[in-house]
A = this chain, B = another copy of it.
């Protein structure tokens, strides 16, 4: 490990900003965290992220002094990252991890030069080791890509139907009708059928492995829980179960957080961890891939720290071997 790094977080009062704070606070390779929030500047961090009471009672800063940091995390809303970078000149030594969708791959940029490296270690860890700017993937995008990458790598990904369900924290902190407890408790509701905004980055990523990306039909649902994403993919597959398991085992051989489970999986196995668990079944000429992760960790802040570890030459799992919630 190099010497410890100093980080800034812009937008540290939001849900992903808070989760990042929870991680970095305990990260042995980080020595200083500047937590910025426009709306909460001056208030104690633990008055917003109230689970940090007794741990992080310092106030949010109004600005981050970019000259004194090594790495800047952008946890502002979608659109705000691009706006910030347009109006700000960062010192060249400051590296950047953006958690918004502003700089993730878009369908029309697949072959272009990208300023940002797409931050999915399971796709191209070698690029992240050298990256200066990283666009951290979306939560559904991560769960779906990890379910499909080994098939794309083998060139055998066909038309795929996906259903995914997400916890309420995926929708953030801002008030929306669909976040009213009286409505959401015990409820299931679909949204953005076949048009979810993460499809672009998924297709761009798959296209680096399989030249022709087949149609992906994705149905997202809102779930009645706070944390986690569960996705099931169904795709035609000509081999048997063992051959599919081989593809996945080989692909994820060196991935420390993505595991193929022999047993059926459920969402709670991954909560408060940086893991993505996968389980395969073959029936009636179809491969069924189940994929589960914690949307705030492997789907956001955990993956961002994983990327930070890679960018700064630390062990990939540093600070991410978390005690699971389990229940």
What are 28 A-B pairs at a CB distance below 8 A? A26-B323, A50-B265, A50-B266, A51-B269, A51-B270, A51-B271, A53-B277, A54-B275, A163-B219, A168-B182, A173-B180, A175-B180, A179-B180, A181-B184, A182-B226, A183-B327, A185-B225, A187-B268, A188-B267, A189-B264, A190-B230, A190-B232, A193-B290, A194-B284, A194-B286, A194-B288, A224-B224, A325-B325
Which A residues contact B (CB, under 8 angstroms)?
15, 18-19, 22-23, 26, 47, 49-55, 161, 163, 165, 167-169, 173, 175, 179-191, 193-195, 215, 217, 219, 221, 223-228, 230, 232, 234, 257, 259, 261, 263-273, 275, 277, 281, 283-284, 286, 288, 290, 292, 296, 321-327
Q: Are B230 and A221 interface neighbours, CB within 8 A?
A: yes
A22 CB contact (under 8 Å) in B190, B219, B323: B323
User: How many angstroms from the CA of A267 to the CA of B185 in the assembled complex?
Assistant: 10
A187 CB contact (under 8 Å) in B183, B263, B266: B266
Chain B nearest CB: distance from A162 CB in Å?
Answer: 9
Sample of 12 more A-B contacts, CB < 8 Å, known A168-B182, A190-B290, A227-B325: A15-B327, A23-B323, A47-B263, A51-B268, A163-B232, A167-B327, A181-B184, A182-B327, A186-B227, A189-B230, A189-B264, A194-B288
User: How many angstroms from the CA of A189 to the CA of B181 in the assembled complex?
Assistant: 14
Chain B nearest CB: distance from A67 CB in Å?
Answer: 30
Q: How many copies does the complex hold?
A: 4
User: How many angstroms from the CA of A215 to the CA of B236 in the assembled complex?
Assistant: 12
Contacts of A26 in B (CB 8 A): 321, 323
A51 CB contact (under 8 Å) in B169, B190, B193, B325: B325
User: How many angstroms from the CA of A169 to the CA of B184 in the assembled complex?
Assistant: 12
Q: Are B326 and A18 interface neighbours, CB within 8 A?
A: yes
A168 CB contact (under 8 Å) in B185, B194, B226, B284: B185
